[in-house]
Amino acid sequence: MKDRIYKRFQELYGAGGEIGVYFAPGRVNLIGEHTDYNGGHVFPCALTIGTYGAVRKRNDRKLRFYSMNFEHLPVIESGLDDLKPRRNAGWTNYPKGVMWALEEKGYELPCGVDLMLYGNIPNGSGLSSSASIEVLTGYMLNDLFDLGISNQELALIGQFSENRFNGVNCGIMDQFAIAMGRRDHAIFLDTADLSYEYAPIRLEGARIVISCSNKKRGLGDSKYNERRAECEKALEEIKREIPVDSLGALTEEQFEKVKGAVKDPVRRKRAKHAVYENQRTVKAVEALKTNDLNLFGKLMNESHISLRDDYEVTGKELDTLVESAWKVKGVLGSRMTGAGFGGCTVSIVKDDAVEYFIRQVGRSYKKAMGYKADFYVVEVGDGPVKL
């Protein structure tokens, strides 16, 4: 892949100069959904699919962008002195956002760059193609300009760019999982203080299967920001009863005692999800540590039910995928992953059931929705690298 990227870069922008080729993964979250902006735990892992990028310094302040995923589009030009989000700028708003965020945080970008990307994560699928571009851009510029930024800081810069440049009030999970990924490990991250632990993913005799609904999801225009606001409001109401920093700091018992403070029943359900999902995540990681994959799977299923009934972020596509997965023998657990409202599901499937799973869930989905789902049997990979 490196050679292909390198060659295309030269064809496009001309030979000469030092061209760096890099890779940053996508991520899948195993459990802990919509908990990261509630001070709770998440349990994602980086994948071996992701985004490749090539970059070279320029001797002026111009920026040139190109994506091998959109070969029908021309090179897009911009400038370091014009780092503003634009509606029609498409994916270039992500690298531009990171450049803007670096400057906001006091890092100087001394010159413009030619940049080219190629991603093999299905776009808008909930596997964090945008966070992958953000972390990749930060990683490339950090290396190119010797900025001395740690991977954890790159994750925060990516999140900052997403929040402030691209207008999505996301938490830290995606950028953190990507920047800090480790082969064959998931990251048990406490978003309250960013303390984390790597947990080996030893799925003896089972695989992680991603089912992609092919319903595109734009976070910005989805109800993501609305859910976040609902949780914030619920927390404010609870704070009037007991002193607490976040919904993630509450046990189920504490929540049951104070939930009456949350006046609106819909908002109460949202808060309930945040509290219970966080506790479920802690239990799931314990289950994995003791090799209890059945319990881990059961908690994944409960996570989906909560996201479906209390948080209401699933929709017919994701419910169809998950509910048909649950019927397949050899499925240990299945749930939606990421923000929801379309995108993907993640399932833990016994090796000898994978083929049947793909056929069977694929068939049910096509029948219910009228179009196809795609399936990926994935591997857990490392964070960003220079190739």
What are the residues binding ligand GLA (CB under 6 A)? 33-34, 36-37, 170-171, 173-174, 338-339
DSSP for 54-87 reads: EEEE-SSSEEEEEEGGGTTS--EEEETT-----G
DSSP for residue 321: H
d(CA 159, CA 134): 8
- Smallest separation (angstroms) from ligand GLA to the CB of 50: 15
For 293, residues 6+ apart whose C-beta sits below 8 A from its C-beta are: 203, 206, 287, 332, 348
Q: What SS3 class is residue 135? A: helix
* Residue closer to ligand GLA, measured from CB, 78 or 278: 278
| CA quadruple 235, 240, 241, 244: dihedral sign | positive
Q: Which residue has the tokens 């510029």?
A: 141
CB of 136 to ligand GLA, least distance (A): 16
CB of 37 or CB of 376, closer to ligand GLA: 37
Tokens of 80: 């370091």
- For residues 109 and 133, which CB has a smaller minimum distance to ligand GLA in the complex? 133
CA angle 76, 140, 102 (to 5 degrees): 80
Give the nearest distance from C-beta 237 to ligand GLA in angstroms: 21
CB of 270 to ligand GLA, least distance (A): 13
What's the CA gap between 252 and 272, in Å, rounded?
8
Nearer to ligand GLA, 158 or 297 (CB): 158
Cβ-based neighbours of 213, under 8 Å, separated by 6 or more: 317, 318, 321, 342, 343, 344, 345, 365, 369, 373
Active site residue 174: yes
Do residues 269 and 32 touch, judged by C-beta distance below 8 A?
no
> How much is the CA Rg of the chain, to the nearest whole Å?
21
Smallest distance from the beta carbon of 48 to ligand GLA, in angstroms?
19
- The first and second tokens of residue 208, run together, are 């992680």
Nearer to ligand GLA, 301 or 364 (CB): 301
The catalytic position among 36, 114, 174, 190 is 174
Instruction: State the minimum distance, in angstroms, from the CB of residue 62 to ligand GLA.
Output: 31
Q: Which is nearer to ligand GLA, 219 or 373 (CB)?
A: 219
Q: Which is nearer to ligand GLA, 109 or 173 (CB)?
A: 173
Quote the least distance from Cβ 295 to ligand GLA, whole Å: 21
DSSP 215-278: ----TTTTTHHHHHHHHHHHHHHHHTTS--S-GGG--HHHHHHHGGG--SHHHHHHHHHHHHHH
- Cβ neighbors of 49 (< 8 A, separation 6 or more) are 25, 26, 120, 121, 127, 376, 378
Q: What are the catalytic residues?
A: 174
